[in-house]
Structure 1
Amino acid sequence: MKTILTYLSIGVLFVVIVAAVLLFTSLGERPLTALFAVGDVEAVDFAELKLTDKPNQFLSCPPGFCSANPHADSPVFDVSVDRLRERWREVVAVQPRVEFLAEDEEGQQFDYVQRSVRFRFPDIITVRFISVSFSQSTLAIYSRSVYGKSDFGVNRERIDAWLKPLREGL
């Protein structure tokens, strides 16, 4: 009986160590990324977008651009759409755990995935650049979680954090 308990204790300890390695080291990145796959990402049509009833999403749009009622109005920047897109790429490039997914044919809409630190849960971020005039532009951003129901405000915080350097640097 004592031998069985010893083997059982060793087995439990082994499982705990493996779980800790997978959750708290970079060795766990690949299995968790594979486990929580993004899947197929459908193109977002902001003019036809319908939000789900889940709170794990956040939409920022210029007034009248999105069919869905946005959580926030997007700012208008006193720069061309090309300059806004260029600055956006600079902001996204320094964000942790962000991967580029897709670009539309016109080069005005982009999809990204950002993963959570520990469990590598993916969130999808779609941004569309909109020219207001030759010297003004804005954007529509839709950030949503792939898994779960609540995101504890992560999608809103992400959009706010990504817009902040745009507001300050343009």
Structure 2
Amino acid sequence: MMLKTVLLSALLLVGAAVAAFILIGRERCWELIAGSPDTGQYDFSIAQRSATSNDALACSPGLCAESDFEINPFDDAPAIVIERLSQRLLASDPLARRVDDRKDAAKARFVTHSPLMRFPDVIHLEARAMPDGRTGIMAYARAQLGKSDMGKNLDRLKALLGKP
């Protein structure tokens, strides 16, 4: 009898969780559980990485240490580079939305979600004029939840920045 009660309780709990995900929405449920994935602009001068393997960092040469891969500098001005990368991201990821206030045209921040479970990720982009007149890029993507993103954020940055 005790086992039946435990199993029934577990089944009701799972049913309630599924109902909440359906009625409230997956993205909103994760936000209620873990808070907003948008915690403000990433500080590339500190470049603090996640303690777990759920992030990715990519930079043009000389702009940050310990990046996962390098990004070739661009010939356009920082604002133009950020706008083009923003448009590329929004066109390639239907779940992405821009969340920064757009006050600094050399920076952009996005929240996106995994397709099935809608786990939230945040993407930070920043462009800087380099001494040679070109524009360097810094890009950071991290998962809000979990200890591993199974390389998803690294893949996302590589796709956005045209890296194989």
Per-residue deviation at 1:26? 9.2
Per the alignment, residue 106 of structure 2 pairs with: 108
- Are 1:36 and 1:120, in contact at CA under 8 Å, matched by a contact in 2? no
Per the alignment, residue 44 of structure 2 pairs with: 46
- Are 1:60 and 1:73, in contact at CA under 8 Å, matched by a contact in 2? yes
Per the alignment, residue 156 of structure 1 pairs with: 154
1:151 and 1:121 map into 2 onto residues whose CA distance is: 10
Per-residue deviation at 1:71? 1.0
Letter in 2 for 1:79: D
User: Is structure 2 residue 132 aligned with structure 1 residue 125?
Assistant: no
Per-residue deviation at 1:116? 0.9
Letter in 2 for 1:143: A
State the SS of the aligned residue for 2:104: coil
Q: Residues 82-97 of structure 1: matches in 2 within 5 Å?
A: 82-94=79-91, 95-97=93-95
1:106-131 superposed Cα distances (whole Å, 9 cap, x missing partner): 32122111111122111111100122
Per-residue deviation at 1:138? 2.4
2:116 and 2:23 map into 1 onto residues whose CA distance is: 10
Structure 2: tracts of 5 or more residues without a match:
none
Per-residue deviation at 1:103? 4.1
Q: 1:28 to 1:40 in 2, by over 3 A?
A: closer
Root mean square deviation of aligned Cα: 3.0
Provide the TM-score with structure 1 as the length reference: 0.72
Per-residue deviation at 1:34? 4.1
Letter in 1 for 2:76: V
> Which has the greater radius of gyration?
1
Per-residue deviation at 1:60? 0.3
